[in-house]
Structure 1
Amino acid sequence: MSVRAKKHLGQHFLKDENIAKKIADTLTENNYDTVLEIGPGMGVLTKYLLQKKLTTHVIEIDTESVEYLKAHYLNLADRIISKDFLKLDISTILNNEQFAIIGNFPYNISTQIVFKTIENRNLIPELCGMFQKEVAKRIAEKPGSKAYGILSVLTQAFYDAEYLFTVPPSVFNPPPKVDSGVIRLIRKENYNLPVDEKLFFKVVKTAFNQRRKTMRNSLKSFNLSDKLREDTIFAQRPEQLSVEEFINLTKSIANDAI
């Protein structure tokens, strides 16, 4: 019995054992005893997670995959969550304990997985996973490049991001049309912002929505005072600003509104 890859779920099953083990080994196993794998499919990665000292849980929306896992991984049966990760209240599934996230993520929901991780960062000290290469690069990118954007800044405000290795299409069934990339996110020691989080998200998104413009033009809608707009930061484009500069800018904007 094998599971048929379903296009609407964005399934591309990893078939290379070496890469599955390599992904499992990206986990540092620091500051947590539990790992949650998203979208295990037929368990090629799960197998290597079960060899670790960690307690492995998996979450799978595809009922055919759930049946396969129950039949082939008997010791995992009571730790299979047959639900949609994006619709789940994370705090309820693992009794509020710290856990890492891992997976060969479906491309169509991979950025949403990152944003959900950020929302629940108090519970998630680490995320290791496979994304479309372009998305993986964007998450881990540093300032000054075209790939650096909203996803880079919002992720790196809370996590240290590292691009680990590239994976070719040939190791999947069916093969995707693009390369994949594996990254690791490790939660920062101080993962709460010293500014209003909603305002920070708004500043970052507004700035990058018109990324070719200088900050002075892209943040026009904030109706900032002339005095603040004279700051040299406003002569730069958003991709030139570090996470720290975006945090300081948000602080200045909040003070400007008082």
Structure 2
Amino acid sequence: MQDHVRAKKHLGQHFLHDERIAEKIGNTLTLEGYKNVLEIGPGMGVLTKYIIKKPLQVIAMDLDTESIAYLQQHYLEENLTILEADFLKFDLSEIFDNQPLAITGNFPYNISSQIVFKALEWRHRIPEFTGMFQKEVAQRICEKEGSKTYGILSVLTQAFYHAEYLFTVKPGVFNPPPKVDSGVLRLRRKEDFTLPCDESLFFKVVKTAFQQRRKTLRNSLKTFNLSDKLKEDTIFAQRPEQLSVTEFINLTQKIQDDGISTHQ
């Protein structure tokens, strides 16, 4: 029987070996509004074992064949499905009969931001998202306006979810230890998670603004061909990091009312 999995650098694998922390991450799930959980990157199942104790249907998804084989040998619980797949390429409509699902995991740091962006695309299905990131990324997701680390991930995530930074994890509890601290967060979807503006335009405005974050919005949003009248609005004298999520929504509404479509 396979007794361990070798951590692979190209997959960004750092296996957590502290049971206390694994249980603590498992307990970040509130179990409110869903009965299904997708765990991304389970490795050797240190977190999986705590999730499957809960009244949930669980899918553990990994693209590492060695991890899949290990899990299949060691975890035979009826409420667990082990799936070899790449989350970033996977169609989530194929699992859990289109019912709500939470996402959790000790995420590979090299793709953690992409995991969040994909979860945002599926926000209608995902009422909760918890897990471990590189500390800097977890903090950025939860950061408020006025900070140098506040950016695209912060605004887009917080437009739809309440973001909480929960606790920090030191490198020594991993094998191999990463070079940085890790951070665990929880995202809980807002009761009303539709925006009062064109949502695809909102994404475009936020991403375009932060691509030149040191410039004022008047300059960074030049490609939108805004009318001279609109550019006189005081909001355009600010830099993107100064705007709250609500102000970005208001900005999008102003641009939308100015006749700008997302197709430009």
TM-score (norm 2): 0.95
User: Which residue of structure 1 aligns with residue 193 of structure 2?
Assistant: 191
Provide the secondary structure at the position in 2 that maps to 1:184: strand
- Deviations along 1:34-88, one digit per CA (max 9) or x if unpaired, are 1111010000000111111122211111111111111111125961111111111
How many Å separate the matches in 1 of 2:167 and 2:147? 19
User: Which residue of structure 2 aligns with residue 84 of structure 1?
Assistant: 86
Contact 1:70 1:77 in 2 (8 A): no
Report the CA distance between 1:120 and its aligned residue. 0.5
User: Which residue of structure 2 aligns with residue 224 of structure 1?
Assistant: 226
Letter in 1 for 2:102: A
User: Which residue of structure 2 aligns with residue 157 of structure 1?
Assistant: 159
User: Which residue of structure 2 aligns with residue 174 of structure 1?
Assistant: 176
Letter in 1 for 2:99: E
User: Which residue of structure 1 aligns with residue 61 of structure 2?
Assistant: 59
How many Å separate the matches in 2 of 1:165 and 1:180? 9
Letter in 2 for 1:241: L
How many Å separate the matches in 1 of 2:206 and 2:105? 28
How many Å separate the matches in 1 of 2:14 and 2:68? 16
How many Å separate the matches in 1 of 2:219 and 2:78? 54
Say how many residue pairs are matched: 258
How many Å separate the matches in 2 of 1:189 and 1:27? 17
Gaps of 5+ in 1: none
- Deviations along 1:116-159, one digit per CA (max 9) or x if unpaired, are 11000111100001000110011000011001000100111111
Query: Which 4+ runs in 1 deviate beyond 3 A?
Result: none
Map residues 201-216 of structure 1 onto 2, 5 A cutoff: 201-216=203-218
Letter in 2 for 1:163: Y
Gaps of 5+ in 2: none
Pick one of 137, 140, 154 that aligns with 2:139.
137
Root-mean-square deviation over aligned CA pairs: 1.2
Letter in 2 for 1:156: Q
1:235 maps to 2:243:
no
User: Which residue of structure 2 aligns with residue 37 of structure 1?
Assistant: 39
Q: Give the share of equivalent positions with the same residue, in percent.
A: 71
User: Which residue of structure 1 aligns with residue 121 of structure 2?
Assistant: 119
User: Which residue of structure 2 aligns with residue 105 of structure 1?
Assistant: 107
User: Which residue of structure 1 aligns with residue 8 of structure 2?
Assistant: 6
Report the more deviating stretch, 69-78 or 129-138. 69-78
How many Å separate the matches in 1 of 2:123 and 2:213? 27
- Deviations along 1:182-209, one digit per CA (max 9) or x if unpaired, are 0000011111222112211111111111
Letter in 2 for 1:100: A
Provide the secondary structure at the position in 1 that maps to 2:146: coil
Provide the secondary structure at the position in 2 that maps to 1:157: helix
- Structure 1 residues 242 and 167, CA gap change in structure 2 (3 angstroms): same
How many Å separate the matches in 2 of 1:185 and 1:252? 28
How many Å separate the matches in 2 of 1:157 and 1:76? 37
How many Å separate the matches in 2 of 1:113 and 1:124? 13
TM-score (norm 1): 0.97
